[in-house]
Structure 1
Amino acid sequence: MQTIENSLLQVSVDENGAGMNHLVSQTENFDYLQTDDKQETVSIAFSGIDHDNNWALDLPWTVVDKGDARVSLTLIDTPESYKKFPYHFEVMVTYTIEGNQVKVSFLLKNNSNKEMPFSLELNVPIIAGWDSEKAVNSVILKNEDDHTITIEPTDFKVEISEKQIDFVSNKIKLAGETKQNLELSFTIA
């Protein structure tokens, strides 16, 4: 588990899957991902690569950069993944805390010399007692205690169900030896 923080927020990221496990207000000592009996996780999925497996959970992530308020993890293809998805790729996710905001940035790299299809999702659970509301260019989660998370998906399509919000960027096609950046942010109030 990697923990980053500033005076307002503390975020914990699990190296297994690179998901955000804790989003804590330092001033209120309140974890936005905790219920009375369960710790939730904001998870990453590569749904379009292999429908039977979530490679974001199955493949090893490596911490490549760490500071007080940021952490970057990288996932690189393996010989086993190449058998099912014949491309050399790298995905870097960076969590950065700035004030009361957590920015989540993805860098997708196609290290092959041919076009590579790719799909990326960030799955945010809707915790019991929280309501979701879709606004222009954002999703707002609010609970009865007036804790609020505003999520701004710069590069993602939003799909809301009863249990979770999926931020999806599918049908990405990266030309050989190219890269693409995707970003979203969580603002806490």
Structure 2
Amino acid sequence: MTTTISNSKLSASIKHAGAELFSIKDNQNNEYIWEGNPDFWGKHSPVLFPIVGTLKNNTYIIKEKEYQLPRHGFARDMEFELIEKTENKAIFSLKSSEETLKKYPFEFELQLIYTLTENSLNLEYKITNNSNEKMPFSIGAHPAIALPGNFEDYALQFEKEEELKYYLLENDLISSKTKVLKTVNNEVSLNYDLFKNDALIFKTLDSKSLNILKNSKPYVKVDYKDFPSLGIWTKENAPFICIEPWLGYSDTDENTGDLYKKEGILILDENKKISVKFSITIL
């Protein structure tokens, strides 16, 4: 099943499977979300929960018991319930179940709230800990912005002038090796060589938004003020770029497995909730 919301400037369509955004169109019918061709990457904009990235040996420990979670967790592969719908807003919910408790021993509710305002799609993640104990988790976004035409006609323009230090992945884990993304006027021209070692992982950034430029003109803006970390990724020769606001990231090789002590993890108190937002604006 799918749900579509709209206003005078945009429409957005969301699959109930994973509550995954798969389309943003303007009123000229231009598409801004990657089509999901499995020859490159068969997803569009999955939610990453209750982890972001990869666990060492895909394993973690809670109270001396081992659990397994796949890369980026399980929420993206589960059916969400549509619990509210208006013309320009849709709210989807995923609640813990017997199935999730086998992988992640916490009672929770995850809501994805999509709202169109003018030429922006605002996405809110609302996480509630319904357990009687502290709940460790990460949450992240993975929207793939479609880049029609020549990939090298596009550039990323960061909000602030800063040293763009990113961490390299080794066997899907974050290594201690870093590089610095060179900029000119806060801009980075896109080319596939940037991603020959997989995603660019920024643990922290001063910039809380970036513009995607097409032939030096504004194309799409992503705002992520609630998210300290950012991933940027594409596949060789694929006509998209993923701009991924994160709270959390992959394990390092030194990780002990204790989820409460994982680098970048959030700890939500019992019977508390947290909300974080980001937006995609068509320029």
Tell me the TM-score normalised to structure 2 length. Answer: 0.61
CA distance in 2, matches of 1:68, 1:126: 24
Contact 2:5 2:87 survives alignment (8 Å): yes
- How far 1:116 moved relative to its partner? 0.2
Over 3 Å counting, the alpha-carbon distance change for 1:76 and 1:138 in structure 2 is: same
SS at match of 1:155: coil
- The equivalent of 2:194 in structure 1 is none
Where do residues 64-103 of structure 1 align in structure 2 (5 Å cutoff)? 64-103=83-122
2:132 aligns to what SS in structure 1? coil
Greater shift, 160-169 or 46-55, is seen at 46-55
| Equivalence for 1:179 | 273
Secondary structure of the structure 2 residue equivalent to 1:81: helix
- Aligned: 1:41 with 2:44: yes
Q: For residues 110 and 47 of structure 1, do their structure 2 counterparts lie closer, same or farther at Cα, with a shift above 3 Å needed?
A: closer
- Residue equivalent to 1:166: 244
Q: Aligned AA for 1:174?
A: L
TM-fit CA distance, 1:51: 3.5
Distance 1:2 1:114 in 2: 35
Q: RMSD in angstroms over aligned alpha carbons?
A: 2.3
What 5-or-longer segments of structure 2 have no aligned partner?
53-67, 160-206, 236-241, 249-264
Equivalence for 1:150:
221
Q: Is 1:33–1:40's contact at 8 Å kept on the other side of the alignment?
A: no
TM-score normalized by the length of structure 1: 0.89
1:47 CA displacement: 5.4
Structure 1 letter corresponding to 2:208: N
1:21-68 deviation per Cα after TM superposition (whole angstroms, max 9, x unaligned): 001011x22011156x78861221115285326311222200000000
Kindly name which structure, 1 or 2, has the bigger radius of gyration based on alpha carbons: 2
Secondary structure at the counterpart of residue 133 of structure 2: coil
Task: Return the letter of the residue paired with 2:244.
Answer: D
Aligned to 1:29: 29
Q: Which amino acid aligns with 1:62?
A: E
User: Match for residue 133 of structure 1?
Assistant: 157
* Distance of 1:75 and 1:132 partners within structure 2: 33
The structural deviation recorded for 1:158 is 1.6
Q: Distance in 2 between matches of 1:51 and 1:58?
A: 12
**Structure 1's 18 and 77: CA in aligned 2 closer, same or farther, altered over 3 A?**
same
Contact 2:114 2:123 in 1 (8 A): yes
1:120 maps to 2:139: yes
Report the CA distance between 1:139 and its aligned residue. Answer: 1.8
Report if aligned partners of 1:126, 1:162 keep a CA contact under 8 Å in 2.
no
Relative distance call for 1:187 and 1:120 in structure 2 (3 A) is same
- Of 156-165 and 168-177, more deviation after overlay is shown by 156-165
SS in 2 for 1:30: coil
Q: Any idea what SS the aligned residue of 1:4 has?
A: strand
Q: Deviations over 1:86-133 (max 9, x none)?
A: 100000010000111111011100000100001111012254434333
Aligned in 2, Cα 1:112/1:40: closer, same or farther, shift over 3 Å?
closer
Match of 2:5, SS state, is strand
Equivalent of 1:51, from 62, 69, 77?
Answer: 69
Q: Show the counterpart of 1:9.
A: 10
1:110–1:100 Cα change, 3 Å? same
Structure 1: give runs of 5+ residues left out of the alignment.
Answer: none
Q: How much does 1:181 deviate?
A: 0.6
Match of 1:123, SS state, is: coil
Q: Percent identity?
A: 24
Distance 1:132 1:123 in 2: 16
